[in-house]
Structure 1
Amino acid sequence: MAFRRTCLTAVAAGLLVASTAAAETELTVYTAVEAEDLKRYAETFNQDHPDIKINWVRDSTGIITAKLLAEKNNPQADVIWGLAATSLLLLKTEGMLEAYAPKGVEKLDAKFVDKSTPPAWVGMDAWVASVCYNTVEAGKLGLTPPKTWKDLAKPEYAGHVIMPNPNSSGTGFLDVSSWLQIFGEDGGWDYMDKLHGNIARYTHSGSKPCKLAAAGEIPIGVSFAFRGAKSKAAGAPLEIIVPDEGVGWDMEATAIVAGTAKLEAAKTLVDWSVTKTANEMYNSGYAVVAMPGVAKPVEHFPDNLVEKMIDNDFEFAANNRKAILEEWQKRYDSKSEPKS
Structure 2
Amino acid sequence: MTSSTTHHRDAADRRRTSTDRAAAAAALAVVTALALASCSLSGGSSTPTSSATQSQGSEESSTASTNGPAASSITLVTHDSFNVSPEVLAAFTEETGIDVTMVAPGDGGALVNQLVLTKESPLGDVVFGVDNTFATRAIEEGVFEPYTSPALPESASEYLIDDALTPIDFSDVCLNVDLAWYEENGQTPPQTFEDLLLPEYAGQTVVTNPATSSPGLALLAATVGAFGETTAEGTGGWIDYWASLRDNDLLVVDGWSDAYYVDFSGGGGDGVRPVVLSYASSPPFTVGDDGEARTAALLDTCFRQVEYAGVLAGAENPEGARQLVDFLLSEPFQADVAEQMYVYPIDSSVELPQEWVDFAPLASSPWSVPADTIAQERSEWIDLWTATVLR
Q: TM-score, normalised by structure 2?
A: 0.68
1:317 aligns with one of 355, 374, 385: 374
Query: In 2 relative to 1, CA 252–229 (structure 1 residues): closer, same or farther, beyond 3 Å?
Result: farther
**In the alignment, is residue 69 of structure 1 matched against residue 126 of structure 2?**
no
**Alpha-carbon deviation of 1:277?**
2.4
**In the alignment, is residue 134 of structure 1 matched against residue 181 of structure 2?**
no
Aligned to 1:173: 217
User: For the Cα contact (< 8 Å) 1:153–1:195, is it kept in 2?
Assistant: yes
**In the alignment, is residue 239 of structure 1 matched against residue 292 of structure 2?**
no
Aligned to 1:301: 359
1:78-227 matched pairs, under 5 angstroms: 78-105=125-152, 107=154, 109-114=156-161, 116=162, 119-138=163-182, 144-185=188-229, 186-197=236-247, 198-205=249-256, 209-212=259-262, 213=264, 214-216=267-269, 217=271, 218-227=273-282
Distance 2:326 2:292 in 1: 37
SS in 1 for 2:295: strand
User: For the Cα contact (< 8 Å) 1:84–1:253, is it kept in 2?
Assistant: yes
**In the alignment, is residue 25 of structure 1 matched against residue 76 of structure 2?**
no
User: For the Cα contact (< 8 Å) 2:179–2:296, is it kept in 1?
Assistant: no
Aligned to 1:228: 283
Is there any run of 5+ residues in structure 2 with no aligned partner, and where?
1-43, 49-68, 230-235
User: For the Cα contact (< 8 Å) 2:282–2:360, is it kept in 1?
Assistant: no
Distance 2:118 2:283 in 1: 34
1:277 aligns with one of 325, 332, 353: 332
Give CA-to-partner distance per residue, 1:247-290, whole Å, 9 cap, x none: 21121111122222232322221111122322222354667532
Query: In 2 relative to 1, CA 293–233 (structure 1 residues): closer, same or farther, beyond 3 Å?
Result: farther
Aligned to 2:5: none
Alignment identity in percent?
21
**Alpha-carbon deviation of 1:98?**
1.6
**Alpha-carbon deviation of 1:44?**
4.9
Distance 1:196 1:74 in 2: 44
**Alpha-carbon deviation of 1:311?**
4.9
User: For the Cα contact (< 8 Å) 2:108–2:214, is it kept in 1?
Assistant: yes
User: For the Cα contact (< 8 Å) 2:279–2:297, is it kept in 1?
Assistant: no
Query: In 2 relative to 1, CA 292–135 (structure 1 residues): closer, same or farther, beyond 3 Å?
Result: closer
Query: In 2 relative to 1, CA 327–85 (structure 1 residues): closer, same or farther, beyond 3 Å?
Result: same
**In the alignment, is residue 55 of structure 1 matched against residue 111 of structure 2?**
no
Is there any run of 5+ residues in structure 1 with no aligned partner, and where?
1-16, 335-340
Deviates more, 1:273-282 or 1:19-28: 19-28
Deviates more, 1:174-183 or 1:141-150: 141-150
User: For the Cα contact (< 8 Å) 1:129–1:175, is it kept in 2?
Assistant: yes
Query: In 2 relative to 1, CA 44–193 (structure 1 residues): closer, same or farther, beyond 3 Å?
Result: farther
Distance 1:320 1:26 in 2: 35
SS in 2 for 1:223: strand
Query: In 2 relative to 1, CA 148–95 (structure 1 residues): closer, same or farther, beyond 3 Å?
Result: same
Aligned to 2:347: 291
Whichever residue aligns with residue 127 of structure 2, its letter is I
The structure having more radius of gyration, on CA atoms, is 1
Distance 1:40 1:301 in 2: 28
Distance 2:211 2:365 in 1: 25
User: For the Cα contact (< 8 Å) 1:132–1:220, is it kept in 2?
Assistant: yes
User: For the Cα contact (< 8 Å) 2:125–2:312, is it kept in 1?
Assistant: yes
Distance 2:74 2:312 in 1: 15
Distance 1:318 1:48 in 2: 38
SS in 2 for 1:19: coil
Give CA-to-partner distance per residue, 1:76-121, whole Å, 9 cap, x none: 243221231231222101211121132423655311333x4xx110
**Alpha-carbon deviation of 1:180?**
0.8
Give CA-to-partner distance per residue, 1:174-219, whole Å, 9 cap, x none: 21112111111232111112223433232334x6634453224242
Question: What is the alpha-carbon root mean square deviation over aligned residues?
Answer: 3.3
Query: In 2 relative to 1, CA 272–28 (structure 1 residues): closer, same or farther, beyond 3 Å?
Result: closer
SS in 1 for 2:278: strand
User: For the Cα contact (< 8 Å) 2:177–2:298, is it kept in 1?
Assistant: no
User: For the Cα contact (< 8 Å) 1:52–1:265, is it kept in 2?
Assistant: no
Query: In 2 relative to 1, CA 126–68 (structure 1 residues): closer, same or farther, beyond 3 Å?
Result: same
Give CA-to-partner distance per residue, 1:14-49, whole Å, 9 cap, x none: xxx9323485625142225355x5756534544534
Query: In 2 relative to 1, CA 73–243 (structure 1 residues): closer, same or farther, beyond 3 Å?
Result: same
Whichever residue aligns with residue 239 of structure 1, its letter is T
Query: In 2 relative to 1, CA 318–193 (structure 1 residues): closer, same or farther, beyond 3 Å?
Result: same
